[in-house]
Amino acid sequence: MNTAWAQRREDLLSDCIVSPDVFNQMVDRLGEFVMPYQRALETEAGQRNVHLYLQGLLSHLPGKNAEDIATLVDVERQVIQEFIGNAPWDHRPLVTVLVGQVAHQLGEPNGIIAFDPSSFPKRGTHSVGVKRQWCSHRGKIDNCQVGVFMGYVSSQEHALLDFRLSLPEEWVRDEPRRQECHVPKEVRYQTRHEQCLEMLDEWGEQVPHSWVTGDDELGRHSRFRHDLRERGERYVLGVPCNTTIRDLEALLPEYSGRGRRPKAPWQSVTDWRQSLPADAWRHLTVRDGEKGPVDIEMVRRRVQTRIERKRTGPEEWLVVTRCFLADDRTLEPKASPDATDQDARYRHHYYLTITTSRRRMGARSHSRSHRCRNWHGSSRRVPALKRVSNEARVKWAWTSTRVCRRTSLADLGRLASPHGAVPDGGVVLDR
């Protein structure tokens, strides 16, 4: 090796050495952060083991499984394994503490609640809730678990609030598998949008927000959008590219005076988008990104969609965004096979948002080392990993980041003001 280069490398490496004293304040802050969660645990064993477990999560260990963490903190493997997997303690008080902290430190009237069903690929068949289903992490049908996450986004930061493990219907009916994975008897089958509504009903009043967002896995269900409207929520929800719509702003033939008045035809959003003139698109700079400004082009139109039994739904705004295929932000995982479409130049995303706001009375101010096969472990380990990320301001782990990071959802919510108008002359989403 060249002598000059070797000396230069040594100089660079010496500049990378960080004194441990730099992290003293961070450790103290982390200790203060953990204390409310420790007090929320009812048992003495739980209060003691939470510190041991966090030491392992924040350590240098390459594989942070129960055995490696137990070796690091010098306890029996069963101590950590029982604490995470089978010990009889309730994790819900920890979520209550977390929601309170997020509302106090990050809460803003214009905040956004983001729902995101995310998948966790699995190889075997013994982990609770695992089955062959659409795996957004891999972009295909594969063996995986699915969790439904509820996040919060404000102008200050973003954080996880709560989550539910999606238990497939065949698991609910299979009593031997339920017993093997310690699924509580009271757990019943719920669709993913039912789980989102359950979390919204539980925490929505405590967290100030103006918008609810989600990808097309949620937005494709007209009942979910109806339930949000009934709760007085404003939403921006993705819809698949084959959604059937009627353009309420299309030019209609002149009425002859006899029979029914003519209406715009029903067509898919893809066909409608392809018929748009080139000057229909409006260029917007959404925010500053890590590699420069995040730019999109957008068009919106007042539409109706079909709901159950081919009935006509209420008026909604259809919002279509597009970005260049060369943009690496378009390589994000897809929530479903028909979540987006693309042509030779652009990838398109489709969303529906409410046209009127019926607010309620009163203002509302990863790897194999992380696997948990049973119900209790899955309900505890994932939130614990996320809480550490919240305090350390690390981006959300696994694929649950995508709702709050992608332009197509959270940024659309940011573009809307409390009264529905976009600052600085942007697109009006609500009137």
**Per residue, what are the HEC states of 142-165?**
EEEEEEEEEEEECCCCEEEEEEEE
Domain boundary among 71, 89, 107: 89
Q: Does 34 reside within a domain?
A: yes
Q: Does 216 reside within a domain?
A: no
Encode pLDDT of 153-179 as tens digits: 999 999 999 999 999 999 999 999 988
Say what percent of the chain tops pLDDT 90.
38
The CA distance from 371 to 128, in Å, is 10
Q: Does 138 reside within a domain?
A: no
The pair of structure tokens assigned to 6 is 């070797």
**Residue from 177, 166, 224, 178 nearest 200 by CA:** 224
pLDDT recorded at residue 100: 93
Q: Does 382 reside within a domain?
A: no
231-259 average pLDDT score? 90
Q: Is the dihedral of CA 182, 186, 188, 192 positive or negative?
A: negative
Residue keyed to tokens 């990863």: 366
Q: Does 390 reside within a domain?
A: no
Encode pLDDT of 48-106 as tens digits: 788 888 888 888 888 888 889 999 888 888 888 888 877 777 788 889 999 999 999 99
Task: State the residue range of the domain holding 346.
Answer: 239-250+263-354
Domain boundary among 56, 89, 122: 89
For the chain, how many structural domains are there in total? 2
Q: Does 310 reside within a domain?
A: yes
pLDDT recorded at residue 360: 41
Q: Does 140 reside within a domain?
A: no
In order of 44, 96, 396, the CA distances from 31 in angstroms are 18, 19, 21
Q: Does 47 reside within a domain?
A: yes
Higher pLDDT, 44 or 118: 118
On whether the CB atoms of residues 313 and 237 are closer than 8 A, the answer is no
Strand partners, 211: 112
Residue 285 has pLDDT above 70, yes or no: yes
385-393 average pLDDT score? 40
Domain boundary among 89, 115, 134: 89
Residue 371 has pLDDT above 60, yes or no: no
